[in-house]
Amino acid sequence: MADDFHVMNKALKVKAEQAASHLQLSTRRTRLCWTVAVQNLLLEKRRMDFEQIRQRYAGKAIQEWERLCSTPIRRIEYMITSHFLNRYLPKSGLILDAGSGPGRYTIDLGRKGYRVVMFDLLHEMLQLGQQKVAENNMQEKVMLVEGNIVTLPYQDNSFDAVICLGAPLSHITDSQARSRAVAEIARVVKHGGQVFLTGLARLACYRGTVYWLKQNPEFFEQIMTAEYRDCGIMDGSQVWYNFVTGELEGLAQGAGLQVIDRVGCEGLANHLPAENLEQIEADERYWPVWKEILLETCNEPSIIGISNHLLVVACKP
């Protein structure tokens, strides 16, 4: 009787082990299927985001080329950003302009002797960029590549520096894809190389709704919703994500980069009356003083968050 019990107990143990093994296999399969399903959903969402970006910028390549020179506040954004590029970029080398648009910064860098890869999602932007490259005789210095910054087609440690300026990261509304894009940028920059990341700021967006209230009252309705304040994606739009202060540098640090500076690209000038900025800009007495103050204060913590564009400068150790 004891032997029968021992045999039966052993058989039950074998069956239990088989069942457990089958359950583990089923669980692994379920997890794998779930992971694949989630990845497919993210890829589909990313394709939708990219298509919306294409629609958003269709026919606007020239407008994008002219953007940084079109208004006083945008010229200040351009001036402050260029100042920090000059401060932190290496003296020479190969630069990746990730999300270049038509290449305003690429052309600037080419004029200074850098070799540059102009990399953008939109063929229309690169077409205008190619024209600008030819006009400036930079065919030997600049390469144009179409692609998206979430999956960069380059080997590790390929570039002496990477710039990602304007709104490319803010056009990635999925948080995992944003992290992946910054990780990709960190991967392709060389050790000791610099990375420049910008994104749109959520606090400035709140101020902007009030600044533009008369011209754009519906903007207030979109921005001041609880959903927007929670997720940073404007109601009705899937192509604009606005960062909270500190979030962009957190992404850089999460990708293994060391943050060396933080900047508000519009600085104290943001949301000041355009006519006043134009008056100062045109005055030979006022402008040098105002420019100096802007550059002195644009990385003050109290200023960074209220600028339209946040700039994080980092280094790969």
pLDDT per residue as tens digits for the range 36-77: 343 444 444 455 567 888 888 889 999 999 999 999 999 999
pLDDT of residue 230: 76
Q: Which of 58, 73, 99 is the last residue of a domain?
A: 58
Identify which of 71, 65, 84 has the alpha carbon closest to the alpha carbon of residue 271: 71
| Residue 309 identity (one-letter amino acid) | H
| Interatomic CA distance for residues 257 and 270, integer angstroms | 28
Instruction: Say what the pLDDT of residue 212 is.
Output: 80
Containing domain of residue 167, as a range? 61-315
What is d(CA 205, CA 235) in angstroms, rounded to the nearest whole number? Answer: 13
290 and 279 share one domain: yes
In angstroms, rounded to a whole number, what is the distance separating the alpha carbons of residues 225 and 132?
42
Residue 38: C-alpha distances to residues 35, 154, 227 (Å): 5, 26, 23
Domain boundary among 33, 58, 83: 58
**Contact assessment for residue 45 and residue 174, using Cβ atoms and an 8 Å cutoff:** yes
Supply the pLDDT for residue 21: 55
Instruction: Output the six-digit token pair for 304.
Output: 């960074």
Apex CA 63: angle with CA 60 and CA 65, to 5°? 110
Same domain, residue pair 65 and 53: no
Residues 53 and 66 in one domain: no
Q: Cα separation of 181 and 240, whole Å?
A: 16
Number of domains in the chain: 2
Tens-place pLDDT, residues 168-203: 999 998 999 999 999 999 999 999 999 999 999 998
Q: Do 199 and 242 lie in a common domain?
A: yes
Please provide the average confidence, as pLDDT, over all residues in the chain. 86
Domain co-membership, 19 together with 112: no
Give me the pLDDT at residue 24, please: 54
Domain boundary, last residue among 34, 58, 82: 58
Q: Quote the percentage of the chain above a pLDDT of 90.
A: 68
Among 58, 64, 53, CA closest to 124: 58
pLDDT on residue 157: 98
CATH number, domain of 97, equals: 3.40.50.150
Number of C-beta neighbours around residue 99 at 10 A: 26
Q: In the predicted model, is pLDDT for residue 107 greater than 90? A: yes
Report, in angstroms and rounded to the nearest whole number, the Rg of the chain calculated over CA atoms.
Answer: 25
Same-domain check for residues 107 and 207:
yes
| 165 lies in the same domain as 283 | yes
Whether residue 263 is found in the same domain as residue 307:
yes
Residue 107 and residue 238 in one domain: yes
Tell whether 51 and 66 lie within a shared domain.
no
Looking at the predicted structure, is the pLDDT value of residue 3 above 60?
no
Percent of the chain with pLDDT over 70: 83
Element spanning 294, H or E: helix 286-297
**In 3D, which of 80, 60, 102, 90 has the Cα closest to residue 160?**
90
Q: Tell me, yes or no, whether 229 and 276 share the same domain.
A: yes
Q: Are residues 232 and 256 in the same domain?
A: yes
Can you give the pTM of this predicted structure?
A: 0.83
| Whether 80 contacts 265, CB under 8 Å | yes
Q: Please say whether the beta carbons of 180 and 168 come within 8 A.
A: no
**CA dist 145 → 52, 100, 102, 130 (Å):** 20, 10, 12, 10
